[in-house]
Structure 1
Amino acid sequence: METHKKIRWGILGVAKINERVIPAFSQARHAELLAIASRSLEKAKQASARYGIPKAYGSYESLLEDKEIDAVYIPLPNSLHAPWTIRAAEAGKHVLCEKPIAANAAEARQMLAVCRKQGVALMDGFFWPHHPRTARLRQELQQGTVGDIQLVRGCFSFPLPLDPANIRLQPELAGGCVMDVGCYPVYGALWVFGRLPQRVFAVGRYQYGVDTVMQGVLDFGEGRAAVFDCSFMLPFRQWLEIVGTRGRIWVPDMWLPPDPAVFTIESENGQRQEVRIGGGNQIAAMLDNFSLALLEKRDPEPPADCAVQIMQVLDALRESARLGQPVTVR
């Protein structure tokens, strides 16, 4: 790939998430959206006209053959992440893949192996790690503001009409609430503790062959744990709590923050400090962070190994909920 002031992007698919991602390109300093593809040329042209995207392709293969494209964003259903990431990598394209990165950990490992063999970057499309509030939270944890971390609690839920036509409710597309939104608090727990849990235990409720509710415990050893819940049947909730030996940090809107984003530090003596962080568009920040890493010829952050770890935990949680017993993370 030649060096450009901006990385030139293509999008494989006309998914609904594009309504949030595409406008962020206009706020990114190091990314330029050049093309969009759909299996329907008409749909691709409609998206191109709506958003002012220069090129529209009637197949994903055609976009991957475009030598002007440096990187692709893949917002396809979970079951299609691995095959199209691999095809993009083999075409020499760097890949930003919508979360979770794959349908399971085995696929995630294969994706990463192919990308490394082809010399292209791979990152999953979680927005929140790129918000400046997340960097400030990391700073507080590194400084030991609330002491030794013992417990993480988190959630992500929203009411979803349970229509079997929805891709979130189709098992063959690797649907389910833990894959769609439970991956957020799971990732949050891994981010806080900095390692995989030893084992997990989960319970769930199922409809159409996928989980619509799940609660779980992640055992990090020595009494340290994370507790989470996710659901398509509960009100909109998206918080994270980090509890240490000298206090706690409360983040009321961890995954989709307003501007400014807020969190509260509560000390062991009851004193509270509210921290407000202006940050603008976390999606634009994600696009910029990935693009700048490519321009500077370094690996993007977070690393793809982290995406594989998330899938290891999601695999274990789904197995545990089905079996009704704890499962070792492997």
Structure 2
Amino acid sequence: MAENETIRFGIIGCANIARKLARAIALAPNATLSAIASRSKQKANTFAAENQLPATVRIYGSYDEVVEDPGVDAVYIPLPTSLHVRWAVAAASKGKHVLVEKPAALDVAQLDLILEACESNGVQFMDGSMWLHHPRTAHMEQLLSLSHSTTVGPVQFIHSTSTMPVPPEFLENNIRVKPDLDGLGALGDLGWYCIGASLWAKSYNLPTTVTALPDITRNAAGVILSFTASLQWCQGQQPADQAVATVHCSFLSHTSMDLSLCGSNGSLHLKDFIIPYQETDASFDFTFGAKFVDLHIGWNVRPEEVHVDNELPQEALMVQELARLATSIRDCGSKPSSKWPEISRKTQLVVDAVRKSIEIGFKPVAL
């Protein structure tokens, strides 16, 4: 595909996560990497050399240069969360589409500034929840559909975890434990995925109440290192209207990325929902119509392991989707999709509610 037919990406910030997105942009058939920037040109040059970026990639020593570059159509922002508003708004105001790392913002008021800038300038917004773009996610959505012949049924219970055992230097120096850089800590970095998965399972209907549990762990600066929360949906009198989700995220536990969904007819279980065990395929367990056999000495069915292949890594599929939307805006006069901003905003609202529940002594927060 010719460069003028692709969406040209710029990256501002050479954080470690940017390596993955530089690779994803290279793999996406409708995207190309045109520019990168760090706070110093030397660091940007080092990033380009270590990641073997093409010589055609322009290398800058300031973020402004990428934002001002007319040869950049979309900007990926892997900066600390506290800097998202400034640079996302700057990029949108220059007519550039915005892909921002999660958490999208420190609170919904900041996120609204970003979304308003994107909307008023007619550019696409998306956050970096890459797992939503994996074909496994679409396959599971089919089984959650009430019109599917083997539907899970109305989802009544959701359990998700995202935990990782970090080394001591992480707890001392990583930006995710610095209150002035990423003040949400594990709530933003890991909780964004689990809260997002809970909302996804409920078709992005907001819970009626959110409650943090009092097992929270903070560092000396007050940043959250570990937390647990529950989300409750009580929107009617019927069983289908009732649901609860439990979320546990921690920088202090062994690696886990579990997601379990239980409905009236079946259940879905996977242990790698954020990052699949392998790039080329993924799986999940699907159980439908399970009952106990006579005397409760076994089950009548075993879970079916469902395998889903994918041609591209989920990060490249995310880039491909943003580039597709950007191309439609550029070439067909389409409006930016409202799907992705709405997903991010609802996720942010629940993140904010968990934080508020913690601040008021672990009491329920109504949404």
Residues 1:52 and 2:53 are matched in the alignment = yes
Contact 1:146 1:247 in 2 (8 A): yes
Aligned mates of 1:166, 1:157 — CA distance in 2 = 16
Aligned mates of 1:296, 1:42 — CA distance in 2 = 36
Aligned mates of 2:266, 2:142 — CA distance in 1 = 15
Structure 1 ranges of 4+ moved more than 4 A: none
Aligned mates of 1:15, 1:175 — CA distance in 2 = 18
In structure 2, the partner of 1:260 is: 281
Q: Per the alignment, do residues 4 and 329 of structure 1 end up closer, same or farther by CA in structure 2, a change over 3 Å counting?
A: farther
Equivalent of residue 315 in structure 2, options 283, 286, 299: 283
Deviation for aligned residue 1:301: 7.4
In structure 1, the partner of 2:327 is: 295
Deviation for aligned residue 1:49: 2.7
CA RMSD of aligned residues (A): 1.6
AA of the residue aligned to 2:326: L
Residues 1:156 and 2:193 are matched in the alignment = no
Residues 1:171 and 2:167 are matched in the alignment = no
- Residues 134-213 of structure 1: matches in 2 within 5 Å? 134-142=137-145, 143=148, 145-162=151-168, 163-173=171-181, 174-194=183-203, 195-203=205-213, 204-207=216-219, 208-213=221-226
Q: Which sections of structure 2, spanning at least 5 residues, go unmatched?
A: 235-240, 292-298
Residues 1:315 and 2:352 are matched in the alignment = yes
AA of the residue aligned to 1:325: F
Q: Share of identical aligned residues, percent?
A: 34
> Which SS does the other structure have where 2:5 is aligned?
coil
Contact 1:213 1:233 in 2 (8 A): yes
Deviation for aligned residue 1:263: 0.5
Deviation for aligned residue 1:164: 2.7
Aligned mates of 1:25, 1:120 — CA distance in 2 = 19
Deviation for aligned residue 1:14: 0.3
Aligned mates of 1:281, 1:151 — CA distance in 2 = 29
- Residues 69-84 of structure 1: matches in 2 within 5 Å? 69-84=72-87
Report the count of equivalent residues. 328
Aligned mates of 1:185, 1:32 — CA distance in 2 = 31
Q: Which sections of structure 1, spanning at least 5 residues, go unmatched?
A: none
Q: Please list the CA deviations of residues 63-103 of structure 1 after superposition, one character each: whole Å capped at 9, or x if unmatched.
A: 11110100000000111111110011111111000011111
Contact 2:357 2:365 in 1 (8 A): no
Q: Please list the CA deviations of residues 136-170 of structure 1 after superposition, one character each: whole Å capped at 9, or x if unmatched.
A: 01111112622221011100000113433211101
Q: Please list the CA deviations of residues 225-256 of structure 1 after superposition, one character each: whole Å capped at 9, or x if unmatched.
A: 11110000000000100000112111121010
Farther off after superposition, 64-73 or 154-163? 154-163
AA of the residue aligned to 1:206: R
Aligned mates of 1:156, 1:30 — CA distance in 2 = 31
Contact 1:97 1:124 in 2 (8 A): yes
Contact 1:167 1:175 in 2 (8 A): no
Q: Per the alignment, do residues 48 and 214 of structure 1 end up closer, same or farther by CA in structure 2, a change over 3 Å counting?
A: same
Deviation for aligned residue 1:302: 4.4
- Residues 35-46 of structure 1: matches in 2 within 5 Å? 35-46=35-46
Aligned mates of 2:198, 2:100 — CA distance in 1 = 21
In the superposition, the TM-score normalised over structure 2's length comes to 0.86
Aligned mates of 1:117, 1:84 — CA distance in 2 = 16
In the superposition, the TM-score normalised over structure 1's length comes to 0.95
> Which SS does the other structure have where 1:226 is aligned?
strand
